[in-house]
Structure 1
Amino acid sequence: MITNISLVTVYCLDQSAARDFYVGVLGFEARTDITMGEGFRWVTVAHPSQPELEVTLMTPGPPLDDAAAAFVRSQLEKGSMGGLGLAVDDCRKTHQELSARGVTFLQEPAERPYGVEAVMRDNSGNWLSLVERRPFTPEDPH
């Protein structure tokens, strides 16, 4: 029986720079950083309040074939890749704090039916959605 999600992958252009961003800017914890056969590097981070879920910071490469890896790399370079949804307790305050740390925001905090949302980029071009959730149902006015 599956009990939970324990690992998700976020593609990045530079694993060290991505790890430093997620740890130093976003407050995640460094978990694993090992090199396995043929120079394959396994790097993971996790948020301290959700230690059971690790994020693998993966450069485009095997198991992707060369064409797929090139496509993912090009999408990262264009800033067209989605990344993670991150829960925050105060979206406007988090936006201010991260902006002060130099984080690029694509969307300022805005009211949505499900809460307040802002969209930022990590240092590899992934979009990260910050959401301060509030209860809603699909029947609520939009």
Structure 2
Amino acid sequence: MAISFAQCFLAVDDHDKALAFYRDALGLEVRNDVEFEGMRWVAVGAPSQPDVEIVLEPPGAGPGASPADRRAMAELLAKGLLHGVNFWTDDCDADFERVRARGGEVLQEPVDQPYGVRDCAFRDPSGNMVRFVQPRGR
């Protein structure tokens, strides 16, 4: 039996703002855009990884989520306390400058970490942390 990674889900409160960040600032491609029962899911991914996607979904989109659960998820998202995503990169500094130039909210400028990587971090328009990680020596 062989398994491989396919998708992860990231809550966003405004898909159009999220697309401006993930597609326009980060350079990911849109692979699917689906509306169902008043909600929207948008799958994005790196052109270099055609089999891996990030699905941008509404907070608390699960079928078992109550209205109170959805409100709680939206509040946690607004505080930046939900998910995050890390991307490998060959040039942390160049990616940092490109995303910052396109208006990305900087959380951490590029820095060499004691555990062998150089990384930086941004917050997406919904509050999720997005980190670029470059292994040293790459």
TM-score range, shorter chain: 0.7 to 0.9
CA contact (8 A) 1:15 1:57 kept: yes
Aligned AA (1:95): F
Mind listing any 5+ residue stretches in structure 1 that lack a counterpart?
136-142
Aligned to 1:95, what secondary structure does the other structure show?
helix
Q: Deviations over 1:42-101 (max 9, x none)?
A: 311111011101111001133133233222211221222331001111112211121111
Tell me if 1:114 matches 2:113. no
CA contact (8 A) 2:76 2:82 kept: yes
The equivalent of 1:130 in structure 2 is 132
CA contact (8 A) 1:12 1:57 kept: yes
Aligned AA (2:61): P
- For 2:15 and 2:23, the matched residues in 1 are separated by 12
Tell me if 1:47 matches 2:38. no
How many pairs are equivalent? Answer: 134
Tell me the TM-score normalized by structure 1: 0.85
The equivalent of 1:102 in structure 2 is 103
Matches within 5 A, 1:5-84: 5-36=5-36, 38-63=37-62, 64-84=65-85
Q: 1:41 to 1:82 in 2, by over 3 A?
A: closer
- For 1:99 and 1:9, the matched residues in 2 are separated by 24
- For 2:96 and 2:8, the matched residues in 1 are separated by 24
Q: Identity, % of aligned pairs? A: 34
Q: Deviation of residue 19 (structure 1)?
A: 2.1
Q: 1:75 to 1:100 in 2, by over 3 A?
A: same
Q: Report the RMSD for the aligned CA atoms in angstroms.
A: 1.6
Q: Deviation of residue 2 (structure 1)?
A: 4.4
Q: Which has the larger radius of gyration?
A: 1
The equivalent of 1:140 in structure 2 is none
Q: Deviation of residue 107 (structure 1)?
A: 1.0
